[in-house]
Structure 1
């Protein structure tokens, strides 16, 4: 029995970046032998075991044969005589097909080390086309490694285009699509995930709501980049610079989905997009089965980003309505999440990347002033029942008005 460290752990070690998962492949063994050694069986479709001490995953070396549609349509074969090279050839990218034995010696039969040096994401074999999930995985790796200069090899992009046109992407489950999308949100360049999917034709299949934004114009005065799809990529980039929050990054990416359904007769204006985008986000989140916190923040940002951008023009009562709609009294962290998403939207425009977003400070000060209104003092003044809520709202409006007048007097607005 011989075991080898494989996949991301080897790749990231060679790149000098952090990796939190260590996966092993075991050659020359059987399930019975591993269990006798104290390994715990956890794999359903093929033999995967947890090490008795480290709990790291160990999979028996195996081969695969395409037997049906989709990424689950495979038959696995494992036996003690399956070689390491046979196991590695079934992997997606050459940089993920490098193995390291327990003495530190590398086995690299498919040129992964060369592609690491060349900064290429290249498929291991023509069997790449058999698994449609690999299109999304390559897009995610492109996002993860973009800051190091990695690009998708031309021949691999050609195979990704073939898969996108084959209809196989329709076999992917909602959970797997979201899993890859969510993982991309943790990378330094989540916009690259969307761009690569767009380049190979997959975006229209897996996230058509975003794909529809490309080619849709916006007013050049406010959007020198004009194209809404390009704007979305720019916003995604800015959001990643402003926040590590996956929810913020997701909300930024989908805040303009309503522009994708604006009638062409109304272009380049999109007066109703804050409203029409809500139903699209609802359906998108339902289809991909997103966690509620992602959906809720996305809806909040979609509904309110135009109001936040227009903070200087808003009446104090309208500012309070925005704060109420975000439920910031019970969930104060939500305000900052919305403001960061709006800030990304503002900066995600050609020539506006470094602009000061004073609306963020204004809303935070308005919120703090409203928060300091004391309910007990309202009760002490003799108000009862419904009048307490009405008086609370009025005093909060007055507090926000004080902030508004202070900003105007000190000329804080640019």
Structure 2
């Protein structure tokens, strides 16, 4: 029995980056031997075990063979005869196909260290094209390591293009796709994830609504970058620079989908794009079964982001409707995330990345003013039921009028 550290832990140590998760592969062992040593089995499809003390995952060396469509369409074979090199060749990228023993002696049969130095994301073998999930994974790694100068090798991008055209991407489950998408959006340069998907043709398969934004112009006075797709990438980049949570990043990606529906004769204006985009945002949300908080914020940002930009001009009644739509009294965090998405949208424009966004504090102040309306005095006056609701609304409107007047002085 020989045990090796494999994959990301080896890669990140060689890059000088912090190692978080460690994967181990066991060569020359049987399931019975692992159980005898106290390892706990967890793998349903192939033998994976948890270490009795550390809880880390140890997998028996295995080979795989394509047997069906999609990410799960593989037959695995694990036995003591499977070599380390045979196990490593089934991995996606050369930089993930290295192993080291307990003395940090490197096993690198597919030149992963060379590609680390060349800053290349290169596939290990032609079998790469058998697994559609690898398109998303490579795009995610491109987003993670873009700051270090990594790019996708041309021959790997070509395989990704072939996968995108094969129909295999449609076989991915929403859960697997969302896992990769959500992880990619939380990388330091999530816009690179979208760029790579677009470069290999996967974006128009997975998110045609986002792909349709590229080449669609906007008014140069508000959008010096002009192209709606380029603007979306910039907004996503700003969200990462400002350490926004996943909910905000997802909303930033989808906020302008309605502009992809504007007839060319109406370009560069996009009348009512906020409302038109809602059905597209809903479709993308449902396609990937995004978590509920991500779905809700994306829909709200899509519908109301221009309200956010025009906050200082909104009538008190419109401002109250906005606050009601977000249920700021019970869900204050969601409104805070809406404000963040609006600010990222404002900053995601060429040359305007450092602009101030006074709308943010104004909206926070409006929410505070509305929240400060006391309900108890209205109860004491005898209001109840629907009448109480109307009375609260009148008082909140009065508070917002006072707030607006004070803010304009």
TM-score of the superposition, structure 1-length normalised? Answer: 0.96
Q: Is the 8 A contact 1:242 1:340 kept in 2?
A: no
**Which moves more between the two structures, 346-355 or 371-380?**
371-380
User: SS of the counterpart of 1:355?
Assistant: coil
Task: Describe the SS at the equivalent of 1:44.
Answer: coil
| Structure 1 position 87 matched with structure 2 position 87 | yes
Q: CA deviation at 1:46?
A: 1.2
Structure 1: how far apart are the matches of 2:374 and 2:16? Answer: 54
Residue 377 of structure 1 deviates from its aligned partner by: 2.2
Q: CA 1:380–1:50 in 2, change beyond 3 Å: closer, same or farther?
A: same
Report how far residue 174 of structure 1 moved. Answer: 1.6
> Unaligned 5+ residue runs, structure 2?
none
- Cα distance, 1:135 vs structure 2: 0.8
How far off is 1:66 after superposition? 2.0
2:143 matches 1:153: no
Q: Is the 1:177–1:206 Cα contact (8 Å) retained in structure 2? A: no
Report if the CA contact (8 A) 1:308-1:359 is conserved: yes
Could you list the per-position Cα deviations for residues 7-64 of structure 1 after superposition, in whole angstroms to 9, with x for gaps in the alignment? Answer: 1111112222233221110000011111111111111111111111111111111112
The residue aligned with 1:341 is 341
Taking the TM superposition and a 5 Å limit, the aligned residue runs for 1:60-75 are 60-75=60-75
Of 388-397 and 116-125, more deviation after overlay is shown by 388-397
Per-residue Cα deviation, 1:355-410 (whole angstroms, up to 9, x for no partner): 1011101000111111111111223345444332222222222222222222221x
Q: Give the secondary structure class of the aligned counterpart of 2:65.
A: strand
Residue of structure 2 in register with 1:182 after alignment: 182
Aligned twin of 2:195: 195
Taking the TM superposition and a 5 Å limit, the aligned residue runs for 1:113-262 are: 113-262=113-262
* Pairing of 1:8-407 with structure 2 (within 5 A): 8-407=8-407
RMSD of Structure 2 on Structure 1 (CA):
1.4
* Counterparts of 2:381 and 2:66, CA distance in 1: 76
The equivalent of 1:412 in structure 2 is: none
Q: Which moved more, 1:272-281 or 1:136-145?
A: 272-281
Instruction: Find the residue that maps to 2:82 and give its secondary structure.
Output: coil
**Separation (CA, whole Å) in 1 of partners of 2:299 and 2:137:** 27
Secondary structure of the equivalent of 1:59?
strand
Matches of 1:384 and 1:41 in 2, distance apart? 60
Partner Cα separation in structure 1 for residue 128 and residue 193 of structure 2: 19
- 1: CA distance between counterparts of 2:243 and 2:271? 28
Measure, in 2, the Cα distance between the counterparts of 1:375 and 1:172. 51
8 A contact 1:243–1:340 mirrored in 2:
no
Give, in angstroms, the shift of residue 156 of structure 1.
1.3
Structure 1 stretches of 4+ with a deviation exceeding 6 A read: none
Q: Point out the more displaced range, 88-97 or 63-72.
A: 63-72
SS in 1 for 2:277: helix
Asked if the contact 1:252–1:298 (Cα under 8 Å) also holds between the matched residues in 2, the reply is yes
| Deviation digits for residues 172-198 of structure 1 (CA, Å, limit 9, x no counterpart) | 122111111011122111111111000
